[in-house]
Amino acid sequence: MMTRASQLLSAILILMMPCLSVAQGSVTPDKEEAISRIFSALPVEASLNEVSKDLNQQFSQNPFGLPTDKNDQMMQIFRKAFNTDSLSESAHHSLEKQYKPAFADSVLEWLDTPTADSVMSQEHEFYTIQGMRKRIISKYEYEQNPPPEDRQEIVRSLINAQNAVNSEVRSQTIIFRALVSAFSVLSDQRSFNESQIDDIVGNFNSRIQGQIEQELSNQLLLMYHDVDTTMLKDYRTFYNSPTGQWLSDARSEAVHTAFQEAADRFLSDVREL
Protein backbone atom coordinates (compact mmCIF):
# COMPACT_ATOMS: atom_id res chain seq x y z
CA MET A 1 0.00 0.00 0.00
CA MET A 2 1.30 3.49 -0.79
CA THR A 3 2.53 5.42 2.26
CA ARG A 4 -0.06 7.89 3.51
CA ALA A 5 0.70 11.31 4.95
CA SER A 6 0.18 11.88 8.63
CA GLN A 7 -3.24 12.94 9.86
CA LEU A 8 -1.90 16.39 10.63
CA LEU A 9 -0.51 16.89 7.13
CA SER A 10 -3.74 15.59 5.64
CA ALA A 11 -5.75 18.06 7.66
CA ILE A 12 -3.55 20.94 6.52
CA LEU A 13 -3.84 19.90 2.88
CA ILE A 14 -7.59 19.62 3.15
CA LEU A 15 -7.84 23.12 4.60
CA MET A 16 -5.41 24.71 2.17
CA MET A 17 -6.12 22.75 -1.01
CA PRO A 18 -9.73 21.55 -1.10
CA CYS A 19 -9.50 20.75 -4.79
CA LEU A 20 -6.54 18.45 -4.20
CA SER A 21 -8.33 16.66 -1.43
CA VAL A 22 -11.24 15.96 -3.73
CA ALA A 23 -8.90 14.58 -6.37
CA GLN A 24 -7.12 12.37 -3.86
CA GLY A 25 -10.43 11.16 -2.49
CA SER A 26 -11.32 9.73 -5.87
CA VAL A 27 -8.13 7.60 -6.02
CA THR A 28 -8.70 5.38 -3.01
CA PRO A 29 -11.99 3.82 -4.16
CA ASP A 30 -10.42 3.01 -7.54
CA LYS A 31 -7.47 1.37 -5.85
CA GLU A 32 -9.64 -0.59 -3.46
CA GLU A 33 -11.84 -1.71 -6.31
CA ALA A 34 -8.82 -2.86 -8.31
CA ILE A 35 -7.34 -4.78 -5.37
CA SER A 36 -10.69 -6.40 -4.56
CA ARG A 37 -11.26 -7.46 -8.14
CA ILE A 38 -7.78 -8.92 -8.50
CA PHE A 39 -8.05 -10.68 -5.14
CA SER A 40 -11.45 -12.13 -6.05
CA ALA A 41 -10.18 -13.34 -9.41
CA LEU A 42 -7.41 -15.35 -7.78
CA PRO A 43 -8.44 -18.44 -5.78
CA VAL A 44 -6.22 -17.27 -2.93
CA GLU A 45 -8.66 -17.98 -0.12
CA ALA A 46 -9.39 -21.49 -1.37
CA SER A 47 -5.71 -22.37 -1.79
CA LEU A 48 -4.91 -20.99 1.67
CA ASN A 49 -7.57 -23.19 3.17
CA GLU A 50 -6.39 -26.27 1.29
CA VAL A 51 -2.80 -26.05 2.55
CA SER A 52 -3.75 -25.38 6.18
CA LYS A 53 -6.46 -28.05 6.03
CA ASP A 54 -4.01 -30.67 4.75
CA LEU A 55 -1.47 -29.93 7.48
CA ASN A 56 -4.19 -29.82 10.10
CA GLN A 57 -5.25 -33.32 9.09
CA GLN A 58 -1.68 -34.60 9.20
CA PHE A 59 -0.82 -33.17 12.60
CA SER A 60 -4.18 -34.04 14.12
CA GLN A 61 -2.83 -37.61 13.95
CA ASN A 62 -0.24 -36.55 16.52
CA PRO A 63 3.01 -37.46 14.70
CA PHE A 64 5.06 -35.84 17.49
CA GLY A 65 3.61 -38.17 20.11
CA LEU A 66 2.32 -35.47 22.44
CA PRO A 67 -0.14 -36.50 25.15
CA THR A 68 -3.53 -36.68 23.45
CA ASP A 69 -5.03 -33.81 25.42
CA LYS A 70 -2.11 -31.52 24.60
CA ASN A 71 -2.16 -32.39 20.91
CA ASP A 72 -5.90 -31.80 20.78
CA GLN A 73 -5.42 -28.46 22.50
CA MET A 74 -2.61 -27.52 20.13
CA MET A 75 -4.68 -28.33 17.05
CA GLN A 76 -7.65 -26.42 18.40
CA ILE A 77 -5.42 -23.34 18.69
CA PHE A 78 -4.07 -24.08 15.21
CA ARG A 79 -7.54 -24.09 13.67
CA LYS A 80 -8.38 -20.83 15.41
CA ALA A 81 -5.20 -19.11 14.25
CA PHE A 82 -5.53 -20.38 10.68
CA ASN A 83 -9.24 -19.67 10.27
CA THR A 84 -10.50 -18.63 6.83
CA ASP A 85 -11.43 -15.05 7.65
CA SER A 86 -8.08 -14.20 9.26
CA LEU A 87 -6.07 -15.77 6.44
CA SER A 88 -8.10 -13.98 3.80
CA GLU A 89 -7.85 -10.63 5.57
CA SER A 90 -4.07 -10.92 5.90
CA ALA A 91 -3.64 -11.91 2.26
CA HIS A 92 -5.85 -9.06 1.05
CA HIS A 93 -3.94 -6.54 3.17
CA SER A 94 -0.63 -7.85 1.81
CA LEU A 95 -1.86 -7.45 -1.76
CA GLU A 96 -2.77 -3.85 -0.97
CA LYS A 97 0.80 -3.17 0.16
CA GLN A 98 2.16 -4.49 -3.12
CA TYR A 99 -0.20 -2.45 -5.27
CA LYS A 100 1.43 -0.88 -8.34
CA PRO A 101 -1.01 1.05 -10.54
CA ALA A 102 0.56 0.23 -13.91
CA PHE A 103 0.74 -3.51 -13.24
CA ALA A 104 -2.69 -3.56 -11.60
CA ASP A 105 -4.26 -1.83 -14.60
CA SER A 106 -2.64 -4.35 -16.94
CA VAL A 107 -3.94 -7.23 -14.82
CA LEU A 108 -7.46 -5.77 -14.86
CA GLU A 109 -7.34 -5.55 -18.66
CA TRP A 110 -6.10 -9.13 -18.87
CA LEU A 111 -8.88 -10.36 -16.58
CA ASP A 112 -11.38 -9.32 -19.27
CA THR A 113 -9.80 -11.64 -21.86
CA PRO A 114 -11.38 -15.01 -22.77
CA THR A 115 -8.19 -16.78 -21.67
CA ALA A 116 -8.25 -15.35 -18.16
CA ASP A 117 -11.97 -15.96 -17.81
CA SER A 118 -11.77 -19.57 -18.97
CA VAL A 119 -8.66 -20.62 -17.06
CA MET A 120 -9.42 -18.83 -13.80
CA SER A 121 -12.96 -20.14 -13.70
CA GLN A 122 -11.43 -23.63 -13.73
CA GLU A 123 -9.11 -22.63 -10.89
CA HIS A 124 -12.03 -21.52 -8.75
CA GLU A 125 -14.13 -24.56 -9.59
CA PHE A 126 -11.25 -26.87 -8.64
CA TYR A 127 -11.75 -26.12 -4.95
CA THR A 128 -15.56 -26.51 -4.95
CA ILE A 129 -17.48 -29.71 -4.22
CA GLN A 130 -18.24 -30.04 -7.92
CA GLY A 131 -14.57 -29.51 -8.67
CA MET A 132 -13.55 -32.23 -6.24
CA ARG A 133 -15.87 -34.62 -8.02
CA LYS A 134 -14.38 -33.63 -11.37
CA ARG A 135 -10.90 -34.29 -9.97
CA ILE A 136 -11.83 -37.94 -9.42
CA ILE A 137 -13.16 -38.33 -12.95
CA SER A 138 -10.24 -36.51 -14.55
CA LYS A 139 -7.75 -38.50 -12.51
CA TYR A 140 -9.35 -41.75 -13.67
CA GLU A 141 -9.22 -40.58 -17.30
CA TYR A 142 -5.54 -39.72 -17.01
CA GLU A 143 -4.81 -43.09 -15.43
CA GLN A 144 -6.34 -44.74 -18.49
CA ASN A 145 -4.91 -42.26 -21.00
CA PRO A 146 -2.05 -40.08 -19.69
CA PRO A 147 -2.04 -36.48 -20.95
CA PRO A 148 0.19 -35.83 -24.00
CA GLU A 149 3.78 -34.89 -23.25
CA ASP A 150 3.37 -31.44 -24.82
CA ARG A 151 0.53 -30.65 -22.41
CA GLN A 152 2.57 -31.88 -19.46
CA GLU A 153 5.40 -29.63 -20.62
CA ILE A 154 3.05 -26.62 -20.77
CA VAL A 155 2.02 -27.28 -17.17
CA ARG A 156 5.64 -27.69 -16.03
CA SER A 157 6.67 -24.44 -17.70
CA LEU A 158 3.67 -22.66 -16.15
CA ILE A 159 4.75 -23.90 -12.73
CA ASN A 160 8.23 -22.52 -13.41
CA ALA A 161 6.85 -19.19 -14.63
CA GLN A 162 4.86 -18.81 -11.41
CA ASN A 163 7.76 -20.03 -9.25
CA ALA A 164 5.07 -22.22 -7.74
CA VAL A 165 7.31 -24.91 -6.23
CA ASN A 166 9.38 -22.50 -4.15
CA SER A 167 6.25 -20.65 -3.11
CA GLU A 168 4.52 -23.84 -1.96
CA VAL A 169 7.64 -25.05 -0.13
CA ARG A 170 7.82 -21.75 1.73
CA SER A 171 4.12 -21.92 2.63
CA GLN A 172 4.41 -25.40 4.08
CA THR A 173 7.67 -24.52 5.82
CA ILE A 174 6.09 -21.57 7.64
CA ILE A 175 3.37 -23.81 9.05
CA PHE A 176 5.68 -26.75 9.75
CA ARG A 177 8.11 -24.55 11.68
CA ALA A 178 5.25 -23.21 13.78
CA LEU A 179 4.06 -26.73 14.61
CA VAL A 180 7.56 -27.93 15.52
CA SER A 181 8.03 -24.88 17.73
CA ALA A 182 4.67 -25.53 19.39
CA PHE A 183 5.66 -29.13 20.07
CA SER A 184 8.87 -27.90 21.67
CA VAL A 185 6.84 -25.68 23.99
CA LEU A 186 4.26 -28.31 24.91
CA SER A 187 6.39 -31.45 25.20
CA ASP A 188 7.38 -32.59 28.70
CA GLN A 189 10.03 -34.92 27.30
CA ARG A 190 11.86 -32.91 24.65
CA SER A 191 12.40 -29.33 23.58
CA PHE A 192 14.38 -27.82 20.71
CA ASN A 193 16.53 -24.73 20.48
CA GLU A 194 16.39 -22.54 17.36
CA SER A 195 19.36 -24.28 15.76
CA GLN A 196 17.72 -27.67 16.17
CA ILE A 197 14.45 -26.34 14.77
CA ASP A 198 16.36 -24.96 11.78
CA ASP A 199 17.84 -28.43 11.15
CA ILE A 200 14.45 -30.12 11.40
CA VAL A 201 12.87 -27.59 9.05
CA GLY A 202 15.82 -27.89 6.65
CA ASN A 203 15.35 -31.66 6.47
CA PHE A 204 11.65 -31.12 5.90
CA ASN A 205 12.39 -28.75 3.00
CA SER A 206 14.75 -31.24 1.37
CA ARG A 207 12.20 -34.01 1.67
CA ILE A 208 9.23 -32.14 0.21
CA GLN A 209 10.92 -30.24 -2.66
CA GLY A 210 10.66 -32.97 -5.28
CA GLN A 211 7.38 -34.22 -3.85
CA ILE A 212 5.74 -30.81 -4.20
CA GLU A 213 6.98 -30.40 -7.77
CA GLN A 214 5.25 -33.64 -8.79
CA GLU A 215 2.14 -32.86 -6.77
CA LEU A 216 1.77 -29.44 -8.38
CA SER A 217 2.17 -30.91 -11.85
CA ASN A 218 -0.50 -33.52 -11.14
CA GLN A 219 -2.75 -30.92 -9.55
CA LEU A 220 -2.58 -28.49 -12.47
CA LEU A 221 -3.16 -31.23 -15.02
CA LEU A 222 -6.38 -32.02 -13.19
CA MET A 223 -7.27 -28.36 -12.62
CA TYR A 224 -6.88 -27.46 -16.31
CA HIS A 225 -8.27 -30.71 -17.67
CA ASP A 226 -11.04 -28.92 -19.58
CA VAL A 227 -8.97 -25.91 -20.68
CA ASP A 228 -8.10 -25.67 -24.35
CA THR A 229 -4.39 -26.14 -25.01
CA THR A 230 -4.12 -22.86 -26.91
CA MET A 231 -5.63 -20.97 -23.99
CA LEU A 232 -3.30 -22.73 -21.59
CA LYS A 233 -0.35 -21.59 -23.69
CA ASP A 234 -1.70 -18.03 -23.66
CA TYR A 235 -2.05 -18.28 -19.89
CA ARG A 236 1.59 -19.34 -19.60
CA THR A 237 2.63 -16.47 -21.87
CA PHE A 238 0.92 -14.00 -19.55
CA TYR A 239 2.78 -15.32 -16.50
CA ASN A 240 6.06 -14.99 -18.39
CA SER A 241 5.37 -11.29 -18.90
CA PRO A 242 6.38 -8.53 -16.41
CA THR A 243 2.74 -8.08 -15.43
CA GLY A 244 2.32 -11.80 -14.89
CA GLN A 245 5.49 -11.92 -12.80
CA TRP A 246 4.21 -9.07 -10.64
CA LEU A 247 0.89 -10.84 -10.12
CA SER A 248 2.59 -14.15 -9.33
CA ASP A 249 5.00 -12.55 -6.87
CA ALA A 250 2.26 -10.48 -5.23
CA ARG A 251 0.06 -13.53 -4.85
CA SER A 252 2.87 -15.60 -3.33
CA GLU A 253 3.78 -12.83 -0.90
CA ALA A 254 0.13 -12.46 0.09
CA VAL A 255 -0.11 -16.18 0.83
CA HIS A 256 3.16 -16.25 2.78
CA THR A 257 2.18 -13.19 4.80
CA ALA A 258 -1.17 -14.75 5.68
CA PHE A 259 0.49 -17.96 6.85
CA GLN A 260 3.23 -16.16 8.78
CA GLU A 261 0.77 -13.95 10.64
CA ALA A 262 -1.35 -17.00 11.43
CA ALA A 263 1.74 -18.88 12.60
CA ASP A 264 2.68 -15.98 14.88
CA ARG A 265 -0.84 -15.95 16.39
CA PHE A 266 -0.70 -19.69 16.84
CA LEU A 267 2.65 -19.71 18.65
CA SER A 268 1.68 -16.75 20.80
CA ASP A 269 -1.42 -18.59 22.05
CA VAL A 270 0.49 -21.84 22.56
CA ARG A 271 3.08 -20.09 24.72
CA GLU A 272 0.32 -18.66 26.89
CA LEU A 273 -0.95 -22.12 27.86
Residue 222: Cβ within 10 Å count: 20
Q: Which domain covers residue 108, as residue numbers?
A: 29-271
User: Phi and psi at residue 40, in whole multiples of 5°?
Assistant: -70, -30
pLDDT level of residue 57 (50, 70, 90 thresholds): confident
| Within a domain: 7 | no
| Within a domain: 3 | no
pLDDT digits (tens, 9 = 90+) for 184-217: 999 988 889 999 999 999 999 999 988 999 999 9
| Within a domain: 24 | no
| Within a domain: 84 | yes
**What is the pTM assigned to this prediction?**
0.84
Number of domains in the chain: 1
The Cα-based distances of 25 to 31, 99, 142 in angstroms read 11, 17, 53
State yes or no: pLDDT of 1 exceeds 50: no
CA distance 196 to 185: 14
